[in-house]
Structure 1
């Protein structure tokens, strides 16, 4: 009982501090570029016929000179019409190239292999990486480029999911919430992590670590290369603004959701210790609250629950407001129930000795 009380006190103080830092965070000034350097957008695509056209349409809307842009799409042995759809756009979009990936570079597989081969073909000094099911905003390139300084290795934007269903909306808030926690730490000037669907890596940093083919293989290749770039002494930046908010397709069902989150949890062991500790503390709330509920009065358990719900809801609301994302009180309450159920299920699911299945492959 004393341990539970101590944990809750520490949890609320920690969350209160994070909330205070987030609420009183100053908005960064608008980004502007004095010149437009050539940039490369690298997209790994595997069986993405349902999404690739929307992805490339968003890139067409980018507020960036098209003659300073090259887009390399790597078709990773798709069994659907992904390659054909991209090929059909080539006559109208001279900046677009579709590369058929038919083999693996030594030490790579999956997405890391595709990106490694695309990077070999890229001709610019700045690699923007996103996914084939992502729609980036018009200011994406300029906003991330605006963060590049001498010694910068990686700049990361934010992503959430679109969709009107309750499960879709919960996933959207989950992304905004988790990335908000990371941003509070990143705002203190310390490295946190990156996301392979919304990131910029400089050629200098990429080549310094040997690229995706030169680092240890990981199913979360983005986290792994971030870790290696930090080791080489490069700085990083994270941007939590509407100008870099990319939209992803939500996990269509709970099985896919579990596979996705298990893959992320596998990669989380490579996070900096302070970020890993923060997420472990947050994930431990309900495993500690449930036995506390069974061994105390319902009034005390309810009070502890309401304090957590209030702090978290305000934090999520601020996250949404930062990027002009609409939410409501009902969804904030449902989000708590979503976190309760998914946290407990994922903790058990993570330790089941099953291989991760992603994009039709097992890892």
Structure 2
């Protein structure tokens, strides 16, 4: 029995280490494309679906005004998704300074779409840009965000994503917020490396762009249908249609979003991701299973009394995760983000265990004030 445990543990932890190494190599081998002259840039429509975001809009518009992109190639569409606060009023007040801004409401309700996907589809139908860029109302964008997205498009590329992190200055919850930032960094860093190896795994809906023509080629959200993760559903549709997808670890594309304010909302978000992402590729399922097995294995070994093997596997997982986080952090030039990073492996196990009852015993997901059955 001991030999069986040892052999199984060695296999799992070796595969975990190899996977981590491949992710690190994939991130490091990414290249920044050559800059494009203004006249070579595509026309872009930035689309933002906003629902009760009055607290977040000032920071969003501040960053939108700083974007380094020719205004004659740019339009911004903010679609008000049934807000009951001052979202629309605040957005309308920005039009004097931003003549390329349009504030609209959905013209049609598609019965097979959730609220956000319905809003986005309505906005995309009205968009004029060759490229559709999507972000969220609770995000802040770096000045070169849009240019960096546009420069990633070559003849083969159909969809481009960037990495998003969360940040907040609330001292009482700073550790919890840092763990969320590390989680986003780890998950999106893994996804970024996977696209470099030719296996797109994920995209993040507050930091993505795609060709408008390709969107309608796959039928758009109207054909894709209901999903709690409309960003992933669109990526998967494009992937199955043979389109080339990039998820870039590029500091110029690094979006900052607000974190979940408490553990419950964090778990609801992860449940929505997990529920909506059931249709991931076989490769993605293998990576998820291997990653989960690698992180849980040390605890299983220690519980079984295999202390030497338990501590050895824990050490391998810890070092692999730290090197992976450091690689993504360095690529994005976010050195400050390594504070308390050593706690991240424990955090992932902690919330993964909490997700089990949360996932299986709750049949509803509340999102943006709406309730969806899953």
- Structure-to-structure mapping, 1:228-307, within 5 angstroms: 228-307=237-316
1:144 CA drift (Å): 1.1
Rounded Cα–Cα distance in structure 2 between residues aligned with 1:328 and 1:154? 28
Rounded Cα–Cα distance in structure 2 between residues aligned with 1:193 and 1:329? 24
Rounded Cα–Cα distance in structure 2 between residues aligned with 1:26 and 1:16? 15
1:103 CA drift (Å): 5.0
Partner-residue secondary structure (3-state), 2:36? coil
Does residue 40 of structure 1 match 2:33?
A: no
Give the structure with the larger helix fraction: 2
Partner-residue secondary structure (3-state), 2:221? coil
Report what 2:370 is aligned to: 361
Do the aligned residues in 2 keep the contact of 1:144 with 1:239 (CA within 8 Å)?
no
What value does the CA root-mean-square deviation take over the aligned residues? 1.9
Which has the larger displacement, 29-38 or 133-142?
A: 29-38
Which digits, 9 at most, give the CA deviation of each residue in 1:64-99, with x for residues without a partner?
012221111111111111111101111221111111
Does residue 339 of structure 1 match 2:351?
A: no
Which digits, 9 at most, give the CA deviation of each residue in 1:215-273, with x for residues without a partner?
12111111111111222232112211101000100111111101111111112222222
1:284 CA drift (Å): 2.5
Call closer, same or farther: CA 1:226–1:89 in 2, change over 3 Å.
same
Report what 2:92 is aligned to: 87
Partner-residue secondary structure (3-state), 2:270? helix
Call closer, same or farther: CA 1:108–1:14 in 2, change over 3 Å.
closer
Q: Aligned residues, how many?
A: 362
Rounded Cα–Cα distance in structure 1 between residues aligned with 2:242 and 2:214? 9
Do the aligned residues in 1 keep the contact of 2:297 with 2:313 (CA within 8 Å)?
no
Do the aligned residues in 2 keep the contact of 1:54 with 1:135 (CA within 8 Å)?
yes
Do the aligned residues in 1 keep the contact of 2:27 with 2:192 (CA within 8 Å)?
no
Rounded Cα–Cα distance in structure 2 between residues aligned with 1:64 and 1:211? 26
| Gap regions ≥5 residues in structure 2 | none
1:305 CA drift (Å): 0.8
Do the aligned residues in 1 keep the contact of 2:167 with 2:258 (CA within 8 Å)?
yes
Does residue 147 of structure 1 match 2:152?
A: yes
Rounded Cα–Cα distance in structure 2 between residues aligned with 1:353 and 1:181? 28
Report what 2:124 is aligned to: 119
Rounded Cα–Cα distance in structure 2 between residues aligned with 1:197 and 1:125? 19
Report what 1:25 is aligned to: 29
Does residue 100 of structure 1 match 2:109?
A: no
| Gap regions ≥5 residues in structure 1 | none
1:129 CA drift (Å): 0.7
Where in structure 1 do 4 or more consecutive aligned residues deviate above 6 Å? none
Which has the larger displacement, 338-347 or 216-225?
A: 338-347
Call closer, same or farther: CA 1:300–1:50 in 2, change over 3 Å.
same
Rounded Cα–Cα distance in structure 1 between residues aligned with 2:300 and 2:22? 26
Report what 1:352 is aligned to: 361
Partner-residue secondary structure (3-state), 1:284? helix
Partner-residue secondary structure (3-state), 1:8? helix
Which digits, 9 at most, give the CA deviation of each residue in 1:153-199, with x for residues without a partner?
21111111112411111111111111111122211133333221111
- Structure-to-structure mapping, 1:309-320, within 5 angstroms: 309-320=318-329
1:320 CA drift (Å): 0.7
Rounded Cα–Cα distance in structure 2 between residues aligned with 1:180 and 1:262? 20
Rounded Cα–Cα distance in structure 2 between residues aligned with 1:37 and 1:11? 41
Rounded Cα–Cα distance in structure 1 between residues aligned with 2:20 and 2:94? 48
Do the aligned residues in 1 keep the contact of 2:192 with 2:246 (CA within 8 Å)?
no
TM-score normalised to structure 2 length:
0.91
Equivalent of 1:50 in 55, 63, 71: 55
